[in-house]
Amino acid sequence: MAAAVSTQTALSKLQGARALGQLRGVSRAARLFKTATARPSSSSSPAVCSALQLESGVCVVTGGSRGIGKAIALALGAQGCKVAVNYSSSPDKAEEVAHEITQLGGEAIIVGANMGKPEEIDALFKAVTEKWGTVDVLVNNAGITRDTLMMRMKPDQWNDVINVNLTGVFLATQAATKIMSKKRKGRIVNIASVVGLVGNAGQANYAAAKGGVIALTKSVAREWAGRSITCNSIAPGFIASDMTAAIDKKYEEGILASIPLGRYGQPEEVAGLVRFLALDPAAAYITGQTYAIDGGMTMQ
């Protein structure tokens, strides 16, 4: 009981402190809004990243070598951003993405790092800051599947997916926010999944990781809002990529029947929303949200 009372006291003190912080935040928000709206559009200068709030437009895209991550890296590069294209096992594909980015008017480097390995994640951010000095945007996109029914799922299948798809997102976010917090700005976009919203038979590991990413997104958004760092997640449904190409064709008819728009999404359709959340000045007031891009599968 005594513990409950002191917890209560601590909570009300915390709430008081938060209320004070919120009041201070109002005038700061007004100043930030003034600064943001006073800035001109950058579309005339391809060499500058389109989000003028971001001084250098340095973006890290994990798993940028293929599929959705590739489309995201290209979309950010096409806005004149400096893009670190992370890969795990396909340096050649990452190199092709980097080449395309330079042709589109952006800058790019490729950085190999397994997002399931803490020391490699550290090295990724070290490489980016050594090259460009900062990080403005982090897109946590790298992801894997190890599908099987729970009764057959081995600890390794569980751990591999949790390590890359959830712990990797946590560690990359920790590394990025360390850099972003000093500048008091930054945008983080996490690629979750509709499976993290509604679950899926045969994907207990993946669903737990993606559901975790959605919850992590909200915690990151709350923790870092005071430093104007936003964090949002996107929950794609079925998007055409190597990941979905691996799905047994016998399920395809059933899958398409479950999608109101009657087709798979394209990686570029996910990338368009990432570009908005990561770069557009109009997204500065959006944080802690999860957006499904799923052809209507999970609409309520």
Which residues contribute to the site for ligand NAP (CB under 6 A)? 62-63, 65-69, 86-90, 93, 114-116, 141-144, 164, 191, 193, 236, 238-239, 241-244
Q: Determine contact, residues 134/56, Cβ cutoff 8 Å.
A: yes
The answer to whether 176 and 186 have CB atoms below 8 angstroms apart is: yes
In the complex, the smallest distance separating the C-beta of residue 186 from ligand NAP, rounded to whole angstroms, is: 20
d(CA 56, CA 59): 9
**CA–CA distances in Å: residue 241 to residues 24, 110, 244, 247, 269:** 46, 21, 5, 10, 12
3-state secondary structure of 91: helix
Least CB distance to ligand NAP at residue 139 (A): 10
Q: Is 101 annotated as a binding residue?
A: no
- Please state the length of the chain: 300
Query: Residue 141 annotated as binding?
Result: yes
Q: Which of 206, 251, 264, 291 is catalytic?
A: 206
Minimum CB–partner distance for residue 160 and ligand NAP (Å): 9
Residue whose CB is less far from ligand NAP, 243 or 284:
243
Q: Look up 291 and say whether it is catalytic.
A: no
Annotated binding residue 116: no
- Any binding-site annotation on 66? yes
CA gap 273, 245 in Å, rounded: 23
145, 177 Cβ separation under 8 angstroms: no
**Whole-number minimum distance, CB 18 to ligand NAP, in Å?**
33
Question: Rounded distance, CA 235 to CA 251, Å?
Answer: 21
Q: Which is nearer to ligand NAP, 67 or 106 (CB)?
A: 67
> What's the min distance (Å) between Cβ of 41 and ligand NAP?
31
Is 201 annotated as ligand-binding? no
Using the minimum distance from each CB to ligand NAP, give the nearer residue, 58 or 72: 72
CB nearer to ligand NAP: pick between 214 and 229 = 214
Contact yes or no for 51/280 (Cβ under 8 A): yes
Distances (CA, A) of 164 to 8, 129, 141, 145, 167: 38, 22, 10, 10, 6
Shorter beta-carbon distance to ligand NAP: residue 193 or 230:
193
Say whether 229 counts as a known binding-site residue.
no
Specify binding-site residues for NADP(+).
63-66, 141, 206-210, 239
Q: What are the catalytic residues?
A: 206
